[in-house]
């Protein structure tokens, strides 16, 4: 079966006007186009492609990004309960604190893009240390879309997939988000250790040293070393830390981080959309998994 379209970074590794800073609750929806002018679309003769109605979702503290199967662009909107809301949105420091507000945002953003009779498969990114309560709140908010299944995936793993990283070796992923910074050690593609700091780009100002954010990352990695993760971290540092999130678009942060770690730092192409692109890849793989196809199974015949 031909692979359906999936989001890809632009040739320059950035997305032009989408990168403009827009306060939460302001601005119009933005989209990031594919770089491939000849996308491969789902096969209309393939039952799996016809039946797969899905979307990938990255519900961030400042921005929400969505990719709908078969589309050529990423929808990028402020994470706000209603248009014109204050900067305090339904997601704070990576936690969903306003389920009703998030549901309104999803209905407003996707109501005319997801047919009412569809029951989409939803792959949603979550912070590594979000915990069951956060994931349950996300599922509740997604009920507005009537999904047939919800597949949560850690943002760090989605980033690694988008970067086409070699997951056979230990990998350190740093996600510099708007209100949350995560450091995740992946071993054989699964989360082995993780740290988080409840600070991000929105906390930086001319009065605050940007080095505080990178120092926090260095401190979190050092704590992994102290907890018997030394050999794994050393291997991951030698191959280069993988950095994603909006903070990866700021050269001064990347330079400071490389200096603090005294090692190579690799930035994911179009780092602000890496998580949603990885989630879209998982969506393509997940739509054929039996656990997501309960509605489409043939009922067993009675004896």
DSSP state for residue 293 in the 8-state scheme: -
In order, the DSSP letters of 85-120 are --S--SEETTEE--HHHHHHHHHHHHTTTS-TT---
List pLDDT tens digits, range 96-118.
999 999 999 999 999 888 876 68
Domains 16-158+273-296 and 165-267 share a fold: yes
Closest among 30, 36, 35, 31 to 10, alpha carbons compared: 35
Each domain of the chain, given as residue ranges in start order, spans 16-158+273-296, 165-267
pLDDT at position 293? 56
Which residue would you say has higher pLDDT here, 216 or 286? 216
Extended beta strands in 129-236, E state: 149-154, 171-176, 181-187, 190-197
Residue 128's pLDDT band, with cuts at 50, 70 and 90, is: very high
pLDDT (mean) for 47-68: 82
pLDDT at position 125? 98
192: pLDDT strictly greater than 90: yes
The enclosing H or E element of 258 equals helix 251-261
Neighbours of 220 (CB within 10 A): 20
Out of 11-15, 100-104, 161-165, pick the least confident: 11-15
Assign domain 16-158+273-296 one CATH number from 3.40.50.2300, 3.30.420.40, 3.20.20.70, 1.10.3720.10.
Answer: 3.30.420.40
* 235 within 8 A of 170, measured Cβ to Cβ: yes
211: pLDDT strictly greater than 50: yes
User: Cα separation of 96 and 282, whole Å?
Assistant: 22
- Provide the CB-side half-sphere exposure for 237 (13 A, CA): 19
β-sheet bridge partners, residue 149: 121
Class of domain 165-267: alpha beta
210: pLDDT strictly greater than 60: yes
pTM for the whole structure: 0.79
User: Cα separation of 87 and 167, whole Å?
Assistant: 37
User: Cα separation of 139 and 10, whole Å?
Assistant: 31
């Amino acid at each position: 079966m031909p692979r359906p379209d999936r989001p890809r970074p632009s040739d320059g590794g950035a997305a032009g006007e989408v990168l403009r800073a827009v306060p939460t609750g302001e601005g119009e929806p933005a989209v990031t186009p594919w770089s491939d002018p000849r996308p491969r679309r789902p096969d209309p003769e393939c039952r799996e492609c016809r039946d797969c109605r899905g979307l990938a979702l990255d519900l961030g503290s400042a921005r929400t990004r969505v990719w709908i199967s078969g589309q050529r662009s990423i929808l990028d909107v402020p994470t706000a309960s209603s248009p014109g809301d204050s900067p305090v949105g339904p997601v704070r420091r990576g936690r969903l604190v306003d389920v009703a507000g998030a549901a309104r945002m999803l209905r407003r953003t996707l109501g005319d893009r997801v047919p009412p009779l569809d029951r989409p498969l939803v792959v949603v990114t979550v912070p590594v240390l979000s915990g069951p309560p956060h994931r349950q709140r996300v599922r509740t908010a997604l009920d507005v879309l009537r999904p047939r299944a919800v597949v949560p995936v850690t943002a760090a793993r989605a980033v690694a997939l988008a970067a086409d990283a070699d997951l056979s070796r230990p990998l350190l992923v740093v996600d510099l988000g708007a209100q949350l910074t995560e450091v995740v050690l992946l071993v054989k593609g699964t989360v082995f250790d993780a740290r988080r700091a409840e600070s991000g780009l929105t906390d930086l100002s001319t009065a605050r040293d940007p080095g505080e954010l990178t120092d926090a990352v260095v401190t979190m990695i050092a704590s992994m070393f102290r907890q018997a993760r030394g050999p794994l971290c050393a291997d991951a540092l030698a191959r280069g830390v993988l950095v994603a999130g909006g903070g990866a678009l700021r050269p001064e942060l990347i330079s400071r981080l490389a200096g603090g770690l005294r090692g190579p730092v690799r930035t994911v192409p179009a780092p602000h959309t890496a998580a949603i692109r990885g989630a879209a890849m998982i969506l393509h793989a997940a739509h054929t998994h039996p656990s997501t196809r309960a509605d489409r199974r043939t009922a067993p015949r009675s004896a």
